[in-house]
Amino acid sequence: MRLRRVLFDVTHTRTQADTAGISRTVRRLAEEFPGVAADAGLGFETVACAATGLRRAPLAPSVRNAASTSALLRFATGIAKPAIEQVLRLPWPLVRPIWQAAAGRAFDAAAAGLPAVDPRPGDLLLMVDGSWNYPVWPAARRARAQGAVVVPLIHDLMPIEAPEFCVPWVRNAFNYWLQDAVGTSDALLCNSASTEQALRAHAQKRGWRLPPTAHIRLGSDPAPQLAGEVRPALRDFLARPAPAYATVGSLEPKKNHRLLLRSCEALWAQGETFGLLVLGRRTPECADVAQRLAALAARGCPVLALHDANDAEIAYAYQHARALVLPSLFEGFGLPLVEARTRGCRVLASDIPAFRELADDGVRLFDPRSEKDLSDRLMTDAHSGAAGVVRAMPAWRWRECAAQSLERVQELLGRAAPGPAASAPITSQRTSSIAP
């Protein structure tokens, strides 16, 4: 079919202030897609999903959205936390409609007052955002019924491949979300070859007939204007005579910060003087990691943790750190790895499929479940003189990613059979699976 307009879903990201992970992907693609769409003779609009359909939505979060999100977070992690924890212990069939109603109401409120978008034949609803966060499928099905094609981006299958990193209700919600994605979409994009392989393997196991699939490569060039200033504390830390290693990523179990801290503490106890820079927001699941970082700094260990690092500070870390250390146990892609390597920063990374797919001569892999293997890598690197100069990875820009995404979608739609996209059952025509 001939495309005429791209409707780019930003429902979740427009309510977020951060620029990490999926939010970074959504924001950078939303910046580059208008030009790519215009070059192809297509229109472009950012949209939000609501219970009654799509709404025309600016990406920049409004003051109301930011304030509402902050208030909801304080409520959920404060006085309401005990009650929420009790609810989440209920069987999933009881939890699901409660969460659907709460999340649906929250995102409908965020879209209140926005003008409606009328999907039509030739429209592409491109769902790059973390759409398991809200009841997306009613709006997607409505758009599809009006002639639009629906293509989501699968970021990873962590709740299926590594369920130990998700609470049970998130695993359940994601499974329903993925089932809906397969049953509703005209095609599926994945953010890496490893994610596409995992999707195909899971579909085969479940007996699903997938719509056409392909994978893209995410971009890595920074935004034209890096937000924020570099704090003196960060500059001073990276100016120390001893080498400093950086790690970038939220403090969450899959990032494996606990192993990294154990390795560093053991080496510091042996007299090593290298520093550790931790850039990543706190999460409730790893509150102990944040507390341990603070305790180490108070003891005088060479560690600096910034839980609100901005883009300029992350770029500065890539430029001045001895190497980036990524001990993750699971990733769907490896955006910090690519961002670091395209800036000439070397990387010590865990030996997992997503990182193996991206690794070049500037990446050294280690066993993410072996403290000794990581310690040996750090020791060898810290005592290797100038550490060796490696050529930067060729840049793959977000504009190229946007162009590749559009090209892949057009190829997939050319292969798609008319009618229902897949044989996976759709869980509900009125509701959708959601997860926080």
Please report the pLDDT score of residue 223 as a whole number. Answer: 62
Residues 262, 115, single domain; the answer is no
Q: What is the DSSP string of 183-225?
A: HH-S-EEESSHHHHHHHHHHHHHHT--PPPEEE-----PPPSS
Whether residue 227 is contained in a domain is answered as no
Find, among 340, 267, 274, 270, the residue nearest to 303 by Cα. 274
Q: Going by C-beta distance under 8 Å and a sequence separation of 6 or more, which residues neighbour residue 77?
A: 284
Structural domain harbouring 13: 5-219+398-415
Q: For the stretch 220-243, what's the b/e string if a residue is b when 16 or more beta carbons lie within 10 angstroms of its beta carbon?
A: bbbeeeeeeebbeebeebbeeeeb
DSSP string, 241-295: SS-EEEEES-S-GGG-HHHHHHHHHHHHHTT---EEEEE----GGGHHHHHHHHH
Closest CA to 296 of 324, 267, 325: 267
* Apex 57 CA angle, 64 and 123, nearest 5: 165
Q: Is residue 333 part of a domain?
A: yes
- Looking at residue 244, what is its pLDDT? 97
User: How high is the pLDDT of residue 98?
Assistant: 66
Report DSSP state, residue 165.
G
Calculated CA dihedral for residues 352, 161, 97, 282, nearest 10 degrees: -30
The three-state secondary structure class of 46 is: strand
Do 154 and 302 share a domain, yes or no? no
- Across the strands, what pairs with 7? 45, 125
Q: What is the pLDDT of residue 189?
A: 98
The answer to whether residues 237 and 116 belong to one domain is no
In the sheet that holds 213-215, the strands lie side by side as 53-56, 43-50, 5-9, 123-127, 149-154, 188-190, 213-215
Structure tokens at 403: 């162009």
- Is 29 inside any structural domain? yes
- Is 421 domain-assigned? no
Q: Is position 224 within any domain?
A: no
Q: What is the pLDDT of residue 96?
A: 66
Same-domain check for residues 262 and 350: yes
Residue with tokens 């090209």: 407
pLDDT at position 423: 44
Same domain, 75 and 191: yes
**Domain shared by 63 and 206, yes or no:** yes
Same domain for 249 and 366, yes or no, is: yes
Write the CA distances from 118 to 55, 372, 433, integer angstroms.
Answer: 9, 58, 24
**Sites in the chain below the pLDDT cut of 50:** 62-64, 66-67, 69-79, 419-436
- Rounded CA gap, 85 and 52, in Å? 30
Whether residues 89 and 15 share a domain: the answer is yes
Amino acid at 319: Q
Q: What are phi and psi of 270, to 5 degrees?
A: -90, 0
Alpha-carbon Rg of the chain, whole angstroms?
22
Number of domains in the chain: 2
Contact call for residues 116 and 48 (beta carbons, < 8 A): no
Strand 149-154 versus strand 244-248 pairing type: unpaired
- CATH for 39: 3.40.50
| Domain membership flag for residue 48 | yes
Residues 302 and 404 placed together within one structural domain of the fold: no
> What are phi and psi for residue 422, nearest 5 degrees?
-160, 170
- Can you give the CATH number for the domain in which 239 is found? 3.40.50.2000
Do 25 and 107 have their domain in common?
yes
Per-residue pLDDT tens digits for 164-201: 998 777 788 899 899 999 999 999 999 999 999 999 99
Six-digit token string for 301:
């260990």
Q: Which of 124, 134, 148 is nearest to 101 (CA)?
A: 134
Same domain assignment for residues 238 and 115? no
CB of 431 closer than 8 Å to CB of 103: no
Residue 424 domain-assigned (yes or no): no
| Residue 213 sits in the same domain as residue 238 | no
Considering the domain boundaries, does residue 393 fall inside one? no
